[in-house]
Structure 1
Amino acid sequence: MAVYPAPYLIQLPRLGAPEIGYISVGESAKDPLPFAVQRVFWTYYTPESIVRGRHAHHHTEQILIAAAGRLIVTTELADGDIQIFRLDDPSVGLYVPPCAWHTIQFSHSAVQLVLASQHFSAADYIRDYDAFRQQWLPQTSTS
């Protein structure tokens, strides 16, 4: 089974100035993106009372970006390591590895931009929390 890093923040370049605005570009990041982007999607008009995500992936790596507004992302690894990230700067992305269960809470009018390493496949999603824990827990040998 592949080993992935824990979730971490990625600083994208912030080019521009306050009087003209900014642009951030993944191709000119100081440290390159951790994967080749195969899919881009965005979610928006999500009510603040709704928690999105609630899944992990078998293979897909993602970078989550708050293109507008604020996202609170909670990640959990199968070993129980839980991290909470506040995304409110469009020049900062959150790397989410396949092995991370994640939930996302949106502020009013938030727009989440997602860069993904794989094309969409429903079979890649782990939507059952107990199945996630079983899939990613280290296998112990019985001698």
Structure 2
Amino acid sequence: MKPKIINFPKIQDPRGNLTFLQYPNPIPFEIQRVFWTYDVPGGEIRGGHAYFKQQEILVALSGSFDVVITNADGSTEKFSLNRSYYGLYLPPKTWRHIENFSTNALALHVSSEVFSKDDYIRDFEDFKKLSNEH
């Protein structure tokens, strides 16, 4: 699979809209962990890694940020997230970093795995080797 935007259900109401996530639709995995990043100082970059097994969905609950996917050949693809009713699906073995956070940006991370430091691929050269094996 490739990274892709997933649209979430949007229930519109004059009193305020509601959006939800649930398995198996639209989330393609059982949720094992949820975390969020916030108060990211201007100019900072988050991420800079991939996972062996973890699938993830990133959602801009508030504000905006860009998710940059880097392929093993060095080519990149940028996804700008700025609405709470869609998210970016990231399959395993997807190298990413997050940049260009707006003031008060709030990023929700929905994961298929519980935290494991052993699931991280932190060196891009290791990531390239792993990608070239498949």
Count of aligned pairs: 133
Unaligned runs of 5+ in 2: none
Corresponding residue number in structure 1 for 2:132: 137
Conserved 8 A contact 2:23-2:29: no
Corresponding residue number in structure 2 for 1:82: 76
Q: How does 1:1-143 map to 2 (within 5 A)?
A: 5-17=1-13, 19-27=14-22, 31-105=25-99, 106-139=101-134
Provide closer, same or farther for how the CA distance between residues 98 and 16 of structure 1 changes in structure 2, counting only shifts above 3 A. Answer: same
Write out the 4+ residue segments of structure 1 that deviate beyond 3 Å after TM superposition: none
The Cα offsets for residues 85-118 of structure 1, whole Å up to 9 and x where unpaired, read as 0000000110011111101011111000010000
TM-score, with structure 1 as normaliser: 0.86
Unaligned runs of 5+ in 1: none
TM-score, with structure 2 as normaliser: 0.91
Give identity over the alignment, percent. Answer: 37
Q: Which amino acid aligns with 1:27?
A: Q
Cα distance in 2 for residues equivalent to 1:51 and 1:80:
18
